[in-house]
Structure 1
Amino acid sequence: MDITYKLPHPVRVLSSEKLESEITQRDSFIYEALGDIELEHCSIDYLVSLVLEKAPKFVAYHKAQGMTDHNIGIAAASMLFPYKFRKLEGNILTTSNDVDGLLEQTDIGDDIPIAYLRPPFKNCYIEFTENRSSSLMIYNSDSGEHILEGVYISEVEILPNTPQMNQYQKNSSLSQIIDFEKPFRVVDMMFTGSPLGKSHVLDDALRIQGFYVQDDDKTVNDELKLIVAEYGNDDDFANDINYLELALSHMAKVLLFVNCKQYRDTAFNERKEILKKISSLKSPAKIKKYNNKLRKTYDRLIIKPEDNVVYVHTKNHEHSSGLRPKKAHWRKGHFRMQPYGLGSSKRKVIYIEPTVVGGIFAEKKSYNIRTK
């Protein structure tokens, strides 16, 4: 199989000379609309409003195709997520297959504040699994289910009495959850579905969603329920809300896991190595060869379990007499808040590993004692 199908979205859309040329033209159009605006301080909602305002031909073209204003905004946003990622040189993180599978079987405690739902970088792309082995899906109304591939994430703080805040004030639905006299933060997300098993490398699925956070004490689970309630009956999302619910939950688990720092990461700087190689070459033919290879490589951090333990759910724990202990059971991994500090006055989110608990067959975890 062509390796291009397994490349994450930010890399795949630039994986050939033809695609790179098309993206360059598209970026030029977006730049004409946005100019030298400070992208790192702008939410996707605000950038969309600027494009729709300053590029009337873009709106007219899509209206001629029979698209609604809402869908024209979605089309603009789907271009702006990768554009912002490229211009700000966003980071790519990859969850190892072990971590991703582990988190799919993990619960989020009802006491986890949304304050902990923060991306590790202000602008990044998280790739789920190293080989597209996720069991989660994203839906495309034209091509059906796609393997959940990853998500663009961008975090921005919106301040009162700014053009961005004024833009948000026009959204009547937000007035129920946002006090426009106070700052709030936006966590923008665009999920991508893999083209594996589809007709071509750009036959994928995209789904855009955001968190608007002003009350950091609100729990992650309450926010997820709010989104499902808000969009569950929306005609635009009628066929994919269940897919979105699972994708959002998984994304939240990944962010919590990274913020717990109960992992180890390994850097793969393939792109930097090739750029270094190109800088030392003089032959035009060799430079072209390595430039072609460059399009299909990327730098990333792979997130792995801290102790590299493989967690196995063994269903049959039986006594030698054939009796099954009633109290022994499998406990899924879960996140919870843990007291710490002087007088246990502080709280932090921690990850509790899955294990067999109770009974004489509960597995014991071994600890390696470090000596100075």
Structure 2
Amino acid sequence: MNNYDFYYPIRFRNKTKNFDNLFNSWKSVENTLGSAYKKDEVIDKYFGKDLDMDTRMSKYFSVLSYRNFEEKGSNIFHFTKELLQLLEQTDVSDIQIKNIKFPFNSFYISVRELNRPFTSDKDDDAIIDGIFIEFKDDNEHDLMHDYHIGFYLCGYSESKKELEFKRTNLDLLELTSELSFESSESTITDAIEVVHQILKDTTESETTTKEYKEKEINFQLEDYKRLKDNLNLIINCIIYISSDKPDIEKEYRAGIPSHLNDRIKKSNTNRKKEVLEQELTKFGYTKINLIGKSYKRIASESSLTTINPHWRRGHWRNQPFGTELKESKLIWIKPTIVNKDKGEIGKGHIYGVKN
């Protein structure tokens, strides 16, 4: 696997048989009468008619998400492990949707360096590769909610060498693939609670015995915890991308043709470089947004004492600015380790951060 195949959107494109024909067929029926039925026919033609429902939905939403991703510029944001670990310790529960600035309406975030499990199955080695993000700020199809954030979770199993895709919220819910916000004032907590209530209502309506109900409630609570943990990380990533002076560098990953790479390095005008980059794009190569390269991990070996170190969680402060302070922007108050010199947090090392 080269560095481009590291990312789900690119692997999906490169590993799918007859992808160009499939994709062109999909685009040709998008705005036609009966497009939903015609898209089903495209899936039948290129993936087969005998797919089970889960696999079929996976293929359908893989193509749909890639289409939206491609239409909005094919932007991939790759986060370093060190920055992701800090964002994990940052709270977003009270952030209002109006304060989140989306860089694009559709893009892909890679969190693969964290090696987060893709499912709750301990026998499944698949990890979360990343997430397709889609933002909608209209209520054309939902009169109850003005804003929607779609999350399409993607995974990769090294042992199976397979792509895995879930259309649902973070591999947890078969009921929804997005967070919905009633107004610009709605918070992340408000949106998650809507999903939580759907879970509870479904559990109560489908349970038949007390034992089954208790089992489902316990399962649902565990899913809810994973949902909040994953959403906390993803929302943090989105906010960081659009924060004040984020650490972002654009560069090609290893794997591009050497003769083109050499020509780009030797280009003495922006126009020549632009032409070469357009040529690379035609071959499926694109610049990746690398996020957090300046965050350096420092391992500090210390013995445990009776006073345990712990994280003081970070948060995003809504900072007014501009004329009469009528505008605002989110400022990251980073998480810190309290009593770092007293020992380790749980197992492993303690990490300091240089920015």
Fold match (TM-score > 0.5): yes
After superposition, give the CA deviation of every residue in 1:104-137 in whole Å (9 maximum; x if it has no partner): 22222x4321223343122211111xxx331422
The answer as to 2:12 corresponding to 1:13 is: yes
Is the counterpart of residue 136 in structure 1 residue 116 in structure 2? Answer: yes
Cα separation, 2, equivalents of 1:90 and 1:150:
14
Give the secondary-structure state (helix, strand or coil) at the position aligned to 1:89: coil
Distance in structure 2 (CA, Å) of the matches to 1:224 and 1:81: 22
2:295 is the counterpart of 1:308: yes
Q: Aligned-pair distance for 1:203?
A: 3.4
Decide whether aligned partners of structure 1 residues 340 and 317 sit closer, same or farther in structure 2, where only a CA change above 3 A counts: farther
The partner residue of 1:25 within 8, 21, 40 is 21
Structure 2 counterpart of 1:54, one-letter code: K
Counterpart residue type for residue 256 of structure 1: I
Distance in 1 between the 2:21 and 2:292 partners? Answer: 38
Q: SS where residue 53 of structure 1 aligns?
A: helix
1:241 is displaced (CA, Å) by 5.7
Contact 1:14 1:23 in 2 (8 A): yes
Q: Which residue of 1 aligns with 2:234?
A: 251
Partner AA of 1:199 in structure 2: K
Distance 2:287 2:252 in 1: 4
Distance 1:350 1:50, change over 3 A: farther
Aligned length: 304
- Among 275, 287, 293, the alignment partner of 1:299 is 287
Matches within 5 A, 1:81-230: 81-108=65-92, 110-128=93-111, 132-139=112-119, 144=124, 146-158=126-138, 165=140, 168=141, 177-178=144-145, 184-196=146-158, 198-200=159-161, 202-208=162-168, 209-230=177-198
Match for residue 266 of structure 1 among 245, 249, 256: 249
The corresponding residue for 2:329 is: 348
Pick from 305, 317, 335 the counterpart of residue 336 of structure 1: 317
Structure 2 vs 1, CA of residues 316 and 217 (structure 1 numbering), >3 Å: closer, same or farther? farther
Asked whether the 8 Å contact 1:52–1:59 carries over to 2, the reply is no
For the aligned residues, what is the CA RMSD?
4.6
**Structure 2 residue ranges without an equivalent (≥5):** 169-176, 207-218, 264-278, 343-351
Tell me which residue corresponds to 1:41. none
- Aligned residue number for residue 173 of structure 2: none
Question: How many percent of aligned residue pairs carry the same amino acid?
Answer: 17
Provide structure 1 residue ranges, at least 5 long, that are not aligned to the other structure. Answer: 38-48, 160-164, 169-173, 179-183, 281-289
What whole-Å deviation, never above 9, does each CA across 1:246-265 have from its counterpart, x for those lacking one?
A: 32221111112223235211
Provide the rounded CA distance (Å) in 1 between the counterparts of 2:223 and 2:34: 28
The verdict on how the C-alpha distance between 1:87 and 1:336 changes in structure 2, with shifts beyond 3 A counting, is closer
- 8 Å contact 1:94–1:127 — kept in the other structure? yes
Answer whether contact 2:180 2:191 (CA < 8 A) is retained: no
Match of 2:37 among 35, 53, 56: 53
Cα 1:7–1:359 change in 2 (3 A) is closer
Contact (CA 8 Å) 1:139, 1:240: kept in 2 or not?
no
Give, as a single letter, the amino acid of the residue that structure 1 aligns with 2:131. V
Instruction: Answer yes or no: is the 8 Å Cα contact 1:125–1:150 preserved in 2.
Output: yes
Q: Is the 8 A contact 2:4 2:10 kept in 1?
A: no
1:146–1:194 CA contact under 8 A, matched in 2: yes
**Does the aligned pair in 1 maintain the 2:97–2:184 contact within 8 Å?**
yes
Give, in angstroms, the shift of residue 229 of structure 1: 3.0
TM-score (norm: length of structure 1): 0.64
